[in-house]
Structure 1
């Protein structure tokens, strides 16, 4: 990786991690795509939007679909040979492509549909750079796969620095609950030891993972299966890992095919404390 002003005490744009006809790095493609999706999400906010039923109480809106198409436009223009896995459109491009982008165009659809501005736009190159846009905070969290920053228009990038000082733990309470009865997030919140050390937050969006990387949350916990290649979690997990967070499943094992859920903590002490509560 090339040296940058950040190596000498200042802020910097990420180093170039890919090549293309456009001359933009994979990191900047991820940022541009996430921003493009965020523009659509902002533009359609507050409107009565058509819903697309996915079953089991889940749904998408016209904003999800339109944002994904805008993101795809950016990726196709910059990386025409890459495949894309989108939450709404599924697999695009060759299934055996060496490079694949994971896109969640609107994480927090239920929030969005009822007028709550807690949502995220997630774009990640599998195993590489990623970006998470906060459409209403006018902020993008980005990583080149090794380091991570927060970016606001007209300002220098600020390195992400995880911290547990807030004591806030964001917990995903959305079903299904595959860990029950052995693990249920609601039981974690009711544990006396949890209240002694932490304070719960329930936002129901993976924007919370970016907040852990940025030091705005002490940790994030969700039950579930293998999230290592999930369009919902890929970008946020990439940020957490690059920022130096401690990331495992709720069983303490590394994320992967045999993993279960996510515990992403700002530091080892916070992670150990949460694992003790979960196991207890």
Structure 2
């Protein structure tokens, strides 16, 4: 992919960067890739590293003064930079490594534009910070969240910093959950884009300060711009002191899930 013009707005830079990373991920899919151990059962592949390099090259060409925080390469750029890009070049590495096409490429300008690319459908979900859309085959469509599917993605991957007070797996045993919803576990933050797009009713995960996390920043930005209620598992706004994440298609769904979480954690 050619580098974007420096005159493009931040959303188009995010889209171009996500496209660039997705192209690498798609091209390298199916190859035998060595696993680069990161400890605690986590690993990266050459696809993660090369996709991040492609994303960084695009952002540098368009925004040379901005800082960069990447899942694989860490922090780059001036520490005092007012703008920082958060990048997860391949969210769902384990899925990818075993030949499952459920992954996302996440690019977000902190407190600004963001894009989430699905390398295998060609879709890029994006926001300029105010509205949320999906681009597919050159056509942009505004995202419209809805709880109609009743599908709720629950992230069961560790770590679980808020256990034993909150365990996502416990929510699945709540009698009200199975009466109202159907659980899904895709193990990628592509599910957050699906909430914004109306393909999921909600997404729930444990964790701390997820709005500043390279894995979650782009998806959170999409959901917020689409009008989805997004809070921590304790109902507080996402931020440095928030715990976990509940992103829902509408206020009713969010309220139901929060009541279930509260009842399990105080039962």
* Other-structure match for 1:217: 200
* Other-structure match for 2:122: 138
Structure 2 unaligned regions, length at least 5: none
CA-CA distance at 1:262 after TM superposition: 0.2
Is it true that 1:22 corresponds to 2:6 in the alignment?
yes
* Other-structure match for 1:86: 70
Q: Matched residues in 2 for 1:95 and 1:200: separation?
A: 41
Structure 1 unaligned regions, length at least 5: 1-19
Aligned positions, number: 260
Q: Matched residues in 1 for 2:76 and 2:203: separation?
A: 30
SS at match of 1:190: coil
TM-score for both structures, normalised by structure 2: 0.96
* Other-structure match for 1:12: none
Q: Matched residues in 2 for 1:257 and 1:102: separation?
A: 15
* Other-structure match for 1:128: 112
Give deviations 1:30-79, integer Å, cap 9, x for gaps. Answer: 00000000000000001110111111100010000000000001001101
Give deviations 1:105-129, integer Å, cap 9, x for gaps. Answer: 0000000000000000000111100
Contact 2:145–2:249 (CA under 8 A) maintained in structure 1: yes
CA-CA distance at 1:168 after TM superposition: 0.3
* Other-structure match for 1:240: 223
CA-CA distance at 1:84 after TM superposition: 0.5
CA-CA distance at 1:181 after TM superposition: 1.2
Q: Matched residues in 1 for 2:6 and 2:77: separation?
A: 20
Q: Matched residues in 2 for 1:160 and 1:249: separation?
A: 23
SS at match of 2:13: helix
CA RMSD of aligned residues (A): 1.0
Q: 1:118 aligns with which of 81, 98, 102?
A: 102
* Other-structure match for 2:42: 58
* Other-structure match for 2:183: 200
Where does structure 1 differ by over 6 angstroms across 4 or more consecutive aligned residues? Answer: none
Q: 1:37 aligns with which of 6, 9, 21?
A: 21
TM-score for both structures, normalised by structure 1: 0.91
Q: 2:149 aligns with which of 166, 188, 192?
A: 166
